[in-house]
Structure 1
Amino acid sequence: MKLLKISLLLLITLSLTSCFEDQDDNLISASEINDFVWKGMNAVYLYKDDITDLANDRFTTNEEYGNYLNSFSDPENLFESLIYQRVTVDRFSVIVDDYIALEQQFNGISTSNGMEFGLFRFNETDTELYGYVQYVMPNTSAETQGVTRGDIFYGVDGVQLTIENYRNLLFSSNNSYTINLGNYDDNGTNDDPNDDSVTESENSINLSKQSYTENPILISNVLNLDANTVGYLMYNGFTGTNAFDSQLNSVFADFNAAGVTDLVIDLRYNGGGSVNTAIWLSSMITGQFTGDVLVSEQWNSELQEQLENNNPQSLLNPFVDEMKKFNTDGDVVFQENINHLNLNKVYILTTRGTASASELVINGLNPYIDVVQIGSTSRGKYQASITIYDSPNLGRADANPNHTYAMQPLIFKTVNSVGFTDFDSGLTPDIIVNENFGSLGTLGNMNEPLLAAAIADIEGTGRFSNQGNYDIKEFKSSKDFKPFATDMYSDHILNLESFK
């Protein structure tokens, strides 16, 4: 983790106080939460330059500013009005009314029945949806009740899933529900989904939710082939927690001890998370590039200029030899030497569920080693965010006790060492292997299609091309409805001068 020892930024104080008098020195009628929203976005939003209403000279008087804030019925509406190209570019900035739940989510704590799943329909005109189980987390209701990867379900509590009701059936506040199981029928044609269907069965499984902390390391093992020793790691989230980061480092110690010659990192359901952990994973895979830039950061023009002038090194995220975290006083609170594999090639498995910090690893490593991406196209998220609180310096300490609103705006985008960024459409695999919802295979098994493709390439038996024409696309996944499941958040400790 890097501590920004410069205040981020004196420019913020200057720009805000030069626009109009301090709003706390003059009573205005604007909501204090709306005041927080505008000032926070004006201070750090990545796309500030593109939003007219965020310009430093947008308001000339307190009255004008107050009238502007009061024109929005709630903080959410104001926040949305300040987002740049919501559909295509900034799909990820969010505002929340409960930052305690947000913090728990970042620590991997959520309410779950242990079943991660995707939803699909057979064509874009269908209104009926079907679920397929991607994986089951250990020590959960789903595991206890015998749910397994590849299970198909057509309904919840006896009601057929549709595009109109799936949110209410699957993602409501209900702590329990019953999934109605079905059977996938490919009609004997493995590569032609046009004649596929799901038939109902009489079987069902009752699931209940509980508070759960997911370990992102779902599977780690060593596969001994004839001439190669392959390390396989299924990693489902960059949680940034000390314990899980330490466990990740231990996995690479085990790979080293086993003499791993080839490595497969399975990120197909990994929506991202901590930038730090992504840097550390990239450094574990390699080791020969310590000090070289993995990715650099681009902020809005004001912050970028100030950082370049005062602390240009803070914009660079290099490969490292150790994991290190600091507290707000600059003291080291976590430190471990990294276990390196020093590889020149890595296989990374991806799907649409692969996003943000997962894509940082792929994009950052690409200029340095041979990254063989296998599966389907990733999500396309190259921006990072940070939690902004209603406090004098936008940090967690001294947050306004009158509410629990917080924002998670995009603050910078990542750029690899050769300048590649802005991959809104995702990263395209070298070997296309689409997951067949009716024949997923067992994760970690050498015959599972995506892993089998990697093994075929490792052994030089020809590039595996299974299910390349299978074109039923996932409609939604369970992780799409978890707050910040596809987020990439910065671990910067921002020392902001008081801006209120």
Structure 2
Amino acid sequence: MKRLLLFTFLCGGLLMSCADDMDDEVRDASYMEIADFIYRGMNEIYLYKADVPQLADNYFSDEDAYKDYLASMDSPEDLFDDLTVALDRFSFITDDYIELENSFNGISKSTGVDYRLYLFSGSNDIFGVVRYIIPGSNAEGTAIERGDLFTRINGESLNTSNYASLLSSPSVTFSLAQLNGNTVEETGEEVTIANTEITENPILIQKVIEIDGKKIGYLMYNSFVADFDGELNDAFGYFKAENIDNLVLDLRYNGGGRVSSATRLASMITGSNTGEIFAKQRWNESYQNYFLATDPDGLFDYFTDHIDNNVAINKLNLNNLYVIGTSSTASASELVINGLKPYINVTTIGTRTTGKSQASVTLYDGENFARKNANPNHKYAIQPLVYESVNANDIVVPYEGIVPDIKIEEELDSFGTLGDPSEPLLAAAISAITGKAQKQSFASKRMQINYKEFKERNALKPNYKRMYIDELPSLNLRN
């Protein structure tokens, strides 16, 4: 049976639809549907459209040239890669938008062990270290804990080729290890944990620490997930009731998330800037001009005084903020740091952050790229970068990341207990607040082995280090 496909041909900036008989097409029809969707989406809204010649509105001489270009790619993924610029580290494509949507809501398959993997220098071999255990997960209550090392999974030594499949196994057996001088040695202890679907509350720790007559609020927040904005607001209600003097915001493992949640968090910290500019958006030329002509206010994210259902936020009205960050700190986390700097004193503690200032949006193969009535023939979606964010003073997060005011590394042999005043990074933040050195229970011996950071648990998630908006702006150029 002949199958008709709708293609979009770009000519002089106008979108024209045309149908074609695909019987003679070398490519599988489903590929061409997906490819056409990918191209249209990238041509519509990609932040770096002007830097990709084949995305120019007049690039193709006719419809056949357009189809030939799509058909020249080996896969949807190859086409997407061909339409992104080399310096774009964060746009991505997925063949399962259900998994992507779950990850945006904090839902994923996990043992409950959060880890960072390290690569032995000059080798493809890997070892891992446990950063924390997710409360309520299968890992909670087992023998594995923060600071433990592991070198094998399910009996196999970890390397750059097998780590993803092994750690994603239905059942994961960790072979624990420890440091011994300049080597990592197995202890002989094994812990087996099943991978199951869990919903992780991004608020790992909230507490008040009293030192030298000061009440210091401590919040370890691991992801900007809108479904937990209510819990975030409750945490600030707790800090407000405790009448804290200072706040330490621990974002060391927070790779980002939803822009609206970042805006709300910043608003809870200050409380006195409602209606002022938190961040400015810079889109591609077409979208920027369209916003300027029709909805210039849409180019700004403003401090707010409420969350969903018009629930009032709990405001701390702080003038100083202390943020713990590392190389795992990215996007929406950096947005909070950068967006607050024009208004209050922000002191950063830790190591250099990732360096991501751009936001993305999910595009589906549906009308106006919306989720509703998306093409049932596939579950591909694309997540292109759509705008760059700058703060009220037009300062952008550096591509190389935010350099800490107080540099201190999270040493593998002196992790300490998260939330404990003696934990090295928190101790450094408390010292900055009180002006006094804090006692550290875990004095680093400094590992003698040569290693470097490789991957972390969140790198296996489709939304890794993403800052995203909820939906495509309704004032899109297709109208």
TM-score, normalising length: structure 1: 0.87
How far residue 474 of structure 1 moved from its aligned partner, in angstroms, is: 2.2
What root-mean-square deviation, in Å, do the aligned CA atoms of Structure 1 and Structure 2 show? Answer: 2.3
How far residue 70 of structure 1 moved from its aligned partner, in angstroms, is: 1.4
Aligned to 2:186: 200
Aligned to 1:487: 466
Deviation per residue, 1:199-219 (Å, 9 max, x gap): 221111001111100000011
User: In structure 1, what is the Cα distance between the partners aligned to 2:208 and 2:347?
Assistant: 19
Match of 1:222, SS state, is strand
- Answer yes or no: is the 8 Å Cα contact 2:287–2:477 preserved in 1: no
- Answer yes or no: is the 8 Å Cα contact 2:107–2:198 preserved in 1: yes
- CA 1:440 to 1:287, structure 2 compared with 1: closer, same or farther past 3 Å? same
Aligned to 1:109: 107
How far residue 369 of structure 1 moved from its aligned partner, in angstroms, is: 1.1
1:234-253 pair list within 5 angstroms: 234-241=220-227, 244-253=228-237
Aligned to 2:211: 225
Tell me if 1:395 matches 2:396.
no
Percentage of identical aligned residues: 42
**Bigger relative contact order (CA 8 A; separation at least 6):** 1
Aligned to 1:40: 41
- Answer yes or no: is the 8 Å Cα contact 1:431–1:464 preserved in 2: no
Tell me which moved more, 64-73 or 226-235: 64-73
Aligned to 2:197: 211
1:273-292 pair list within 5 angstroms: 273-292=257-276
User: In structure 2, what is the Cα distance between the partners aligned to 1:476 and 1:34?
Assistant: 30
Tell me if 1:448 matches 2:423.
yes
How far residue 165 of structure 1 moved from its aligned partner, in angstroms, is: 3.1
- CA 1:367 to 1:468, structure 2 compared with 1: closer, same or farther past 3 Å? farther
- CA 1:303 to 1:136, structure 2 compared with 1: closer, same or farther past 3 Å? same
- Answer yes or no: is the 8 Å Cα contact 1:374–1:432 preserved in 2: yes
- Answer yes or no: is the 8 Å Cα contact 2:9–2:17 preserved in 1: no
Q: Which amino acid aligns with 2:338?
A: N
Tell me which moved more, 388-397 or 462-471: 462-471
User: In structure 2, what is the Cα distance between the partners aligned to 1:91 and 1:462?
Assistant: 39
How far residue 299 of structure 1 moved from its aligned partner, in angstroms, is: 0.4
Q: Which amino acid aligns with 2:245?
A: T
Q: Which amino acid aligns with 2:262?
A: A
Match of 1:281, SS state, is helix
Aligned to 1:407: 382
Tell me if 1:293 matches 2:277.
yes
How far residue 424 of structure 1 moved from its aligned partner, in angstroms, is: 1.5
- Answer yes or no: is the 8 Å Cα contact 2:361–2:468 preserved in 1: yes
Deviation per residue, 1:386-407 (Å, 9 max, x gap): 0001112111112111111111
Deviation per residue, 1:26-80 (Å, 9 max, x gap): 5565711111110010001000010000001112321121111111122111110
User: In structure 2, what is the Cα distance between the partners aligned to 1:464 and 1:382?
Assistant: 36
2:16 equivalent among 22, 25, 37 = 22
Q: Which amino acid aligns with 2:101?
A: E
How far residue 19 of structure 1 moved from its aligned partner, in angstroms, is: 5.0
1:325-336 pair list within 5 angstroms: 334-336=309-311
- CA 1:354 to 1:233, structure 2 compared with 1: closer, same or farther past 3 Å? same
Query: What count of residue pairs does the alignment treat as equivalent?
Result: 461
User: In structure 1, what is the Cα distance between the partners aligned to 2:406 and 2:477?
Assistant: 51
- Answer yes or no: is the 8 Å Cα contact 1:393–1:496 preserved in 2: no
Aligned to 1:190: none
User: In structure 1, what is the Cα distance between the partners aligned to 2:210 and 2:280?
Assistant: 37
Aligned to 2:4: none
Aligned to 1:305: 289
How far residue 450 of structure 1 moved from its aligned partner, in angstroms, is: 0.5
Aligned to 1:62: 63
User: In structure 2, what is the Cα distance between the partners aligned to 1:285 and 1:305?
Assistant: 33
Tell me if 1:180 matches 2:175.
yes
- Answer yes or no: is the 8 Å Cα contact 2:334–2:397 preserved in 1: no
How far residue 295 of structure 1 moved from its aligned partner, in angstroms, is: 0.8
- Answer yes or no: is the 8 Å Cα contact 1:19–1:59 preserved in 2: no
User: In structure 1, what is the Cα distance between the partners aligned to 2:55 and 2:85?
Assistant: 11
- CA 1:75 to 1:270, structure 2 compared with 1: closer, same or farther past 3 Å? same
2:346 equivalent among 371, 378, 398 = 371
TM-score, normalising length: structure 2: 0.91
User: In structure 2, what is the Cα distance between the partners aligned to 1:23 and 1:339?
Assistant: 51
- CA 1:21 to 1:145, structure 2 compared with 1: closer, same or farther past 3 Å? closer
Q: Which amino acid aligns with 1:219?
A: I
Match of 2:249, SS state, is strand
- Answer yes or no: is the 8 Å Cα contact 2:422–2:438 preserved in 1: no
Match of 1:282, SS state, is helix
- Answer yes or no: is the 8 Å Cα contact 1:453–1:464 preserved in 2: no
- CA 1:498 to 1:43, structure 2 compared with 1: closer, same or farther past 3 Å? closer
**Gaps (5+ residues) in structure 2?**
1-7
Match of 2:54, SS state, is helix
User: In structure 1, what is the Cα distance between the partners aligned to 2:397 and 2:266?
Assistant: 20
Q: Which amino acid aligns with 1:361?
A: V
Deviation per residue, 1:412-437 (Å, 9 max, x gap): 11111111225211111111110111
How far residue 18 of structure 1 moved from its aligned partner, in angstroms, is: 4.1
Match of 1:303, SS state, is helix
- Answer yes or no: is the 8 Å Cα contact 1:21–1:61 preserved in 2: no
